[in-house]
């Protein structure tokens, strides 16, 4: 089976998510509930600006797919849902378009969702070490009319993938050279192992607009590739590394601290509007969700719209009960560590 389709099948049928707010680090954090919020619920607005585009909420449909007819159909449904809800949409890796230009239609979501407010293109950064240069990336940008471009950083995934591209040496220099020539703002994103402080410090020296954390807590690409390989050693290595990396909450706080002036998109296991609100309070500019939206889109466009509306409604409710009228106010709200009161010593 085609690699993209085998990824889709595994993501839709196998236990590829780490699950529970604890792996992502959000479970241990909570807001102070405000029983006197001094704001009318009707006045709460989730509207925000991201990369110069106005969004109805600080949300992005995370990068997933494209390249096969099945992937194309899912992209169309997800893009229509993002358009209907006024949020951003990220394409999956466009590498296939470089090898086979006839796959362009499976990525050409502007044709079915012309009102899409913010569209991200995508290719693996490591491809810059396998013959892809600025001219090829510009072609990918122009072919789909995207507003920003994600280079994904996935050394762990490539290490477990049977056919993985693992020549990562010299990539920082390649990114320094190529990023300014892409023609739209560039972001660097992980795919589920997170951006650490050491990585963020290297990214700080690069001419890029920002990062997407894709931390530990949600979809595990080490696990997915482990399930795909026939080699028993690769398989057990992938499973061992299934939880390897930086939990999303930690990655968001670290990226915000190291990259104070860049865009930080939080992702990796964010599953509801409370976790989205926590990620924003930790300093994220926006939040991306991938797998839950894929599962919804597999059912229908309407289900994808409902899934997005649910997250927006939950975010709005979290804002109301913390007394925040706007997203910038939410980003200033402190989070407290959840305490186990039963474990307290008597006075
Ligand atoms: C089916 C599927 C395909 C994906 N393909 C890509 C991809 O091509 N490029 C990329 O940058 N990330 C890809 N991702 C990673 C997501 O963008 C995201 O970083 C990761 O899944 C963590 O988010 P989640 O826990 O909400 O799923 C994919 C995720 C899924 C579920």
- What CATH number is associated with residue 157? 3.20.20.70
> Would you say residue 263 lies in a domain?
yes
> Would you say residue 343 lies in a domain?
no
pLDDT of residue 326: 98
pLDDT of residue 338: 79
Phi, psi angles (nearest 5°) of residue 139: -60, -40
pLDDT of residue 232: 95
> Would you say residue 345 lies in a domain?
no
pLDDT of residue 46: 98
Q: Whose CA is nearest to atom 28 of ligand 1?
A: 64
244-284 pLDDT per residue, tens: 999 999 999 999 999 999 999 999 999 999 999 999 999 99
Q: Indicate the number of domains in the chain.
A: 1
> Would you say residue 53 lies in a domain?
yes
User: Which residues surround ligand 1 with Cβ inside 6 Å?
Assistant: 7-8, 11, 62-65, 92-93, 122, 150, 152, 189, 191-192, 214, 218-219, 267-270, 289-291, 294
Find the 167 Cα to ligand 1 centroid distance in Å.
21
> Would you say residue 268 lies in a domain?
yes
pLDDT of residue 340: 65
**What pLDDT band is residue 23 in, cutting at 50, 70 and 90?**
very high
> Would you say residue 228 lies in a domain?
yes
3-state helix/strand/coil string of the chain = CCHHHHHHHHHHHCCCECCHHHHHCCCCEEECCCCCCCCCHHHCCCCEEECCEEECCCEEECCCCCCCHHHHHHHHHHHHHHHHHCCEEECCCCHHHHHCHHHHHHCCHHHCCCCCCCEEEEEEHHHHHCCCCHHHHHHHHHHHCCCEEEEECCHHHHHHCCCCCCCCCCHHHHHHHHHHHCCCCEEEECCCCCCCHHHHHHHHCCCCCEEECCCECCECHHHHHHHHCCCHHHHHHHHHCCCCCCEHHHHHHHHHHHCCCCEEEEECCCCCHHHHHHHHHCCCCEEEECHHHHHHHHHCHHHHHHHHHHHHHHHHHHHHCCCCCCHHHHCCCCEEECCCHHHCCCC
Find the 289 Cα to ligand 1 centroid distance in Å.
9
> Would you say residue 341 lies in a domain?
no
145-182 pLDDT per residue, tens: 999 999 999 999 999 998 899 999 999 999 999 999 99
195-222 pLDDT per residue, tens: 999 999 999 999 999 999 999 999 999 9
pLDDT of residue 346: 63
Give the structural domain span for 190. 3-335
Mean pLDDT, to the nearest integer, of 62-89? 98
> Would you say residue 246 lies in a domain?
yes
- Is residue 140's pLDDT more than 70? yes
222-238 pLDDT per residue, tens: 999 999 999 999 999 99
**What pLDDT band is residue 301 in, cutting at 50, 70 and 90?**
very high
Find the angle CA(108)-CA(214)-CA(175) to the nearest 5 degrees.
70
pLDDT of residue 345: 63
- Is residue 20's pLDDT more than 70? no
């Amino acid at each position: 089976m085609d690699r993209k389709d085998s990824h889709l099948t595994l993501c839709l049928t196998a236990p590829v998510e780490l699950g529970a707010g604890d792996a992502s680090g959000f479970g241990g954090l909570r807001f102070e509930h405000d029983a006197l919020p001094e704001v009318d619920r009707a006045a709460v607005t989730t509207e925000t600006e991201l990369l110069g585009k106005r969004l109805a909420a600080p949300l992005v449909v995370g990068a997933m797919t494209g390249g096969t007819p099945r992937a194309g159909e899912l992209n169309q449904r997800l893009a229509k849902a993002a358009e209907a809800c006024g949020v951003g949409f990220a394409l999956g890796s466009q590498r296939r378009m470089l090898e086979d230009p006839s796959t362009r239609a499976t990525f050409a979501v502007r044709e079915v969702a012309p009102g899409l407010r913010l569209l991200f293109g995508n290719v693996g950064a490591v491809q810059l070490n396998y013959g892809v240069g600025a001219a090829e990336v510009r072609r990918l940008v122009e072919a789909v009319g995207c507003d920003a471009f994600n280079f994904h950083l996935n050394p762990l995934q490539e290490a477990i993938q049977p056919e993985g591209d693992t020549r990562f040496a010299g990539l920082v220099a390649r990114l320094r050279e190529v990023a300014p020539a892409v023609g739209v703002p560039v972001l660097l994103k992980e795919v589920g192992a997170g951006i650490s402080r050491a990585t963020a410090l290297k990214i700080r020296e690069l001419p890029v607009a920002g990062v997407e954390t894709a931390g530990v807590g949600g979809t595990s690409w080490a696990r997915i590739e482990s399930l795909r390989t026939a080699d028993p050693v690769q398989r057990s290595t992938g499973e061992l590394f299934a939880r390897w990396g930086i939990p999303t909450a930690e990655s968001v706080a670290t990226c915000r601290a190291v990259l104070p002036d860049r865009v930080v998109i939080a992702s990796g296991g964010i599953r509801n509007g409370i976790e989205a609100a926590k990620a924003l309070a930790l300093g994220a500019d926006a939040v991306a969700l991938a797998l839950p939206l894929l599962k919804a889109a597999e059912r229908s466009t309407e289900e994808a719209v409902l899934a997005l509306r649910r997250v927006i409604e939950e975010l709005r409710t979290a804002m109301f009960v913390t007394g925040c009228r706007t997203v910038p106010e939410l980003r200033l709200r402190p989070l407290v560590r959840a305490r186990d009161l039963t474990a307290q010593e008597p006075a």
